[in-house]
Structure 1
């Protein structure tokens, strides 16, 4: 317990310092997100990854907080995904390369002896979907970090309930590292998470949920994993629907995510992040209660209903209303001739 508090505190402070230190090298090297209103350095995610690995290694090396069976491999796979994301931040890899790399890492970490082959394949699909959906959340200052912190605490609570102490400590370190990163990412952001940090966080959190639910029935497990990833999945669903209706490419970035829509409704950037963070907290709380048995899996239906309702409302607000056409002068004269004739 004391080590977990000390590890989280160290992760928070180290990430805050390292993210600030990486800002200038990112500017000089041109590792920027130029598709926003202002160029944003993208090495904040590297700080999150580096500090998470350092603090976890210290706990493993000192044997004070060993990661436990399979958790070390999970962290290694997440680092591999983060390296792929860092390459994408520097050289702009194609989206299908990121999908393929994430899928390979997910195939490697899923505990098939507990999930079985069918359940393992579903787990792989969930990890890939959730990782890419979380990466898409990095479209507004502070959003991915806020949702990541809340989800990490929820997944950590589930791990603690399963007596997976090493995994619980790792998730608390991730939550603390993201909190330190948020000190520089809150609007107006000075450092961005980038593909390196967003892929790492999304992969680690989604894989951790799979670890905690391994061995359980698929139905309740689906309810838990949906609740813990509700905001990211709602954002992905909204983007798919809107771009599908507009017949635009799904993987091309555009201002049609949740935070963008909320800002068009009059919310500030900070207000949109707070609202989505509150939604994430509510959904994650339901997921933790379902996992620990405090409520039935049917409670997840309320979360699903909220997601569907929110997405439907935002899609309808986006749909333009067709105005009645005004008759042209030719149509008016023709109509008058018909009446007079």
Structure 2
């Protein structure tokens, strides 16, 4: 217990420190997120990966929470996914490259002995989908970090219930690292995860959840996995459905995620993060309770129903830009005022 507290505290502080220290060199290298009002350095991904990897490796080496033979492949595969995501940040690779790379990594970590061949293939597809969907949350300040913290802690709780100490420590450390990064990513963000960090976090969370639920039935396992990642899944379904209805290419980005649509309704950036974080917490609580047998599987159905209502309510909302740059508006207003004075003079 004490060792877990020390590990999570170390990961939190280390991630917060590394995110701050790496901002300047990353900015000089030009590795920036340019989707926001101002370009933000992508130092958060490296900080989260380093903090998670170093602390988890230290715990494994010290024998405090050994990952074990099968689970030991997970950090290595996640590191490969991060490198692939970093290449996407640097060189803007085609959309299928990170998907294919994540699929290869997922094939290497799925415990086929517990899942079987069919269950293993379904688990691989689910890991790839959740990993890609988690990357989609990294479009707004604080959103990926907040949802990631809640979800990682939920999976850690499920692992602790199954006495999987290695996975529980790994997910607790990841959650703490994301919390440390969130100190710099809260609106207005000073650092961002980038594709590398988002793919790494999503892959670790999805793969660890598969390990925890392996061998406990496909249908029941799917329900728990959905509840643990309800916001991530709802965002992905909303994007796919909206783009299909609008006949928009699925691989071509546009402001049509949950966060974008809630901003269109007038919510402030921080309010969007808090609301979706609370939604993730609700789903995680149901998922943990269903996994531990505290509630029946019907509770997962209620989570799915709420997610469906949200998706259907927002799918037809316009996806035009939420705001205009203030500087441009101010300049335009001053020019119009000057022109009126000239005409009146």
Q: C-alpha distance in 2, partners of 1:196/1:52?
A: 14
Runs of 4+ in 1 over 6 A off after TM superposition: none
Q: C-alpha distance in 1, partners of 2:49/2:38?
A: 25
TM-score normalised to structure 1 length? 0.92
Match of 1:216 in 2: 216
The question of 1:27 aligning with 2:38 is answered no
Contact 1:131 1:206 (8 Å CA) reproduced: yes
CA RMSD of aligned residues (A): 1.2
Match of 2:184 in 1: 184
Contact 2:242 2:316 (8 Å CA) reproduced: no
Q: Secondary structure of the residue that 2:317 maps to in structure 1?
A: helix
Q: Secondary structure of the residue that 1:35 maps to in structure 2?
A: coil
Q: C-alpha distance in 1, partners of 2:163/2:68?
A: 11
1:43 Cα deviation from its structure 2 partner: 2.0
Contact 2:12 2:177 (8 Å CA) reproduced: yes
Match of 1:128 in 2: 128
Contact 1:81 1:200 (8 Å CA) reproduced: yes
1:65 Cα deviation from its structure 2 partner: 2.1
Q: C-alpha distance in 2, partners of 1:45/1:228?
A: 22
Q: C-alpha distance in 2, partners of 1:134/1:200?
A: 9
Q: C-alpha distance in 1, partners of 2:57/2:23?
A: 25
The question of 1:8 aligning with 2:8 is answered yes
Of the two, which has the highest radius of gyration? 1
Q: C-alpha distance in 2, partners of 1:241/1:36?
A: 25
Q: What is the CA deviation profile of residues 155-212 of structure 1, one whole-angstrom value per residue up to 9, with x for unaligned ones? A: 0010001000111011110010000000000000000000111000000000001000
Q: C-alpha distance in 1, partners of 2:233/2:319?
A: 21
TM-score normalised to structure 2 length? 0.91
Match of 1:164 in 2: 164
Q: Secondary structure of the residue that 2:72 maps to in structure 1?
A: helix
Q: How many residues align?
A: 320
The question of 1:254 aligning with 2:254 is answered yes
Q: C-alpha distance in 2, partners of 1:210/1:69?
A: 16
Match of 2:323 in 1: none
1:71 Cα deviation from its structure 2 partner: 1.8
Cα gap change, 1:112/1:264 in structure 2, threshold over 3 Å: closer, same or farther?
Answer: same
1:126 Cα deviation from its structure 2 partner: 0.3
Q: C-alpha distance in 2, partners of 1:78/1:216?
A: 24
Which runs of no fewer than 5 residues in structure 1 stay unpaired? 321-341
Contact 1:153 1:172 (8 Å CA) reproduced: yes
Deviates further, 311-320 or 276-285: 311-320
Which runs of no fewer than 5 residues in structure 2 stay unpaired? 321-345
Match of 2:193 in 1: 193
